[in-house]
Structure 1
Amino acid sequence: MKPAFTYTGVLIAILIVGCWAALLSFSLQFPTDFSKPWPYILLLLQTHLYTGLFITAHDAMHGVAAPGHKKLNTFIGTICALLFAFNWYPRLLPKHHEHHHFVATEKDPDYHGGGFWPWYFSFLKQYITWPQMLAMAITFNLLKYSFPIENVILYWMLPAILATFQLFYFGTYQPHKGEHEAGNRHKSTTLKRNHLWAFLSCYFFGYHYEHHEKPYLPWWKLYQEKDRLQQRVS
């Protein structure tokens, strides 16, 4: 049955993209004084919004950025993926569904049996391409002619790198590392219930078992599933 179209996911996607673009535009022109807290605050905010771009693209992969409207859903996913370091949505889409179908097995492109760093670099190798790196290099050189180079590094390049750590740690490594209890068909753990931390850390994606249990829920409804499961246990 085709899901009913709602504007909520679209509006949230527009909000995230708009905030990302507005803050980036402001930050690139912001006088950088490392003796004051503002550059660090802007860096953290921009990192969080970069993570939001990818989470929105991820929702599109599950058809919930614009449920019931396939073309708009794909458009949102493509734009958000491109804004996050020129990721290519059609390439990400099948790999992510392989992750869900073969979670924590040798067929899972996101899984690696090693420690944090080998796993992280294995994760990057799955998704970084030479055309993507070339696009990043061209964009960096264009931006540095219009804005101070330290601003380009601090607010455009570094947040994207930090966001990959954020996404990898909370969305892949932490939930899927190690052995899991028998019967845990998603081979995933979940954060303890703390909605503020869950949002700040990775848009509720630390509630990762809940995501695998109901992948059709958008990120902004995962906390409700967390509450529901916790009430069922207690």
Structure 2
Amino acid sequence: MAKIRQNDWRGIAIAAIIIVCWFALLVYLLNSFEVSFASPLTYLFILLQTHLYTGLFITAHDAMHGVVAPGKPALNKAIGTTTAFLFAYNWYPRLLPKHHQHHRHVATEQDPDYHHGSFWPWYFSFLKNYITWWQILLMAITYNVLQLFFPLQNVILFWMLPAILATFQLFYFGTYLPHKGEHAADNPHKSSTQSKNHLWAFISCYFFGYHYEHHDKPYLPWWQLYKAKV
């Protein structure tokens, strides 16, 4: 399967759509949406904003592989830095070497994403590797500033909660499921993959349940990854 051409602007356009949708929906939900726990819209918007948060991180991830703006390293890094920062103040230059270490040493002691254990210990190990104290401080400051201007329950439900849920989404579908358990000796990527269902693969984690395919063809952006699924 061919790599993305260096003059291909589709990744940039898709990244822009995710950023704009995340920001526009967040502004609407904080400023204009009246929360009703009896309304399914409240829960639908939580899930949608969670999915868009996940999209921010997936975009940052694609930037780590140079496929958001291929052939334009400065722009690619800028998009990756922006989307990582919007996702709970993650710092792209810190994430980049860790992610490539994961690809080089997948499911070994040198893999920062891997933990030999059950779900919750693995999840907390994952968080410990990626969350810093200054991120927590910035989140706390932002929380206190936002509640000065918007209803507290809107801030919690549509800014804070989706960010937390997105970490579960990314971890469960993009790390835990594909890398847990033992893998065959002839599996070079020590990764499993979801069954072929493109709709569910997109909804669950932007096709990253097709995880063996990602490790096998890391030059494919998320929106092309489904093409690698046999």
| TM, length-normalised to structure 1 | 0.96
The answer to whether the 8 Å contact 1:13/1:56 transfers is: yes
Identify which of 4, 7, 22 aligns with 1:5: 7
Aligned to 1:104: 107
Matches within 5 A, 1:86-101: 86-101=89-104
Matches within 5 A, 1:93-132: 93-132=96-135
Helix, strand or coil for the counterpart of 1:111?
A: coil
Aligned to 1:15: 17
- CA separation of 1:153/1:191 partners in 2, compared to 1, >3 Å: closer, same or farther? same
1:2 to partner: Cα distance: 11
Q: Within 2, Cα distance between the matches of 1:103 and 1:3? A: 27
Q: Match of 1:73, as an amino acid?
A: N
| TM, length-normalised to structure 2 | 0.97
- CA separation of 1:77/1:143 partners in 2, compared to 1, >3 Å: closer, same or farther? same
Aligned to 1:189: 192
Aligned to 1:173: 176
Q: Within 2, Cα distance between the matches of 1:74 and 1:6? A: 16
Report whether the alignment pairs 1:71 with 2:74.
Answer: yes
Q: Deviations over 1:101-126 (max 9, x none)?
A: 00000000000001000000000000
Q: Within 1, Cα distance between the matches of 2:7 and 2:171? A: 31
Aligned to 2:212: 209
Q: Within 1, Cα distance between the matches of 2:212 and 2:38? A: 42
Q: Deviations over 1:27-76 (max 9, x none)?
A: 11211111111110110000000000000000000000100000000000
Q: Within 2, Cα distance between the matches of 1:16 and 1:153? A: 21
Gaps of 5+ in 2: none
Runs of 4 or more above 2 Å deviation: none
1:181 to partner: Cα distance: 1.1
Aligned to 2:136: 133
Q: Deviations over 1:173-229 (max 9, x none)?
A: 000000011210000000000000000000000000000000010000110010xxx
Helix, strand or coil for the counterpart of 1:145?
A: helix
Helix, strand or coil for the counterpart of 1:131?
A: helix
Helix, strand or coil for the counterpart of 2:78?
A: helix
Aligned to 1:156: 159
The answer to whether the 8 Å contact 1:198/1:205 transfers is: yes
Measured on the aligned residues, the alpha-carbon RMSD in Å equals 1.2
Percent identity among equivalent residues?
Answer: 69
Aligned to 1:81: 84
Q: Within 2, Cα distance between the matches of 1:88 and 1:197? A: 29
The answer to whether the 8 Å contact 2:4/2:220 transfers is: no
1:6 to partner: Cα distance: 1.6
Q: Within 2, Cα distance between the matches of 1:219 and 1:127? A: 21
1:5 to partner: Cα distance: 2.5
The answer to whether the 8 Å contact 2:4/2:67 transfers is: no
Q: Within 2, Cα distance between the matches of 1:57 and 1:36? A: 33
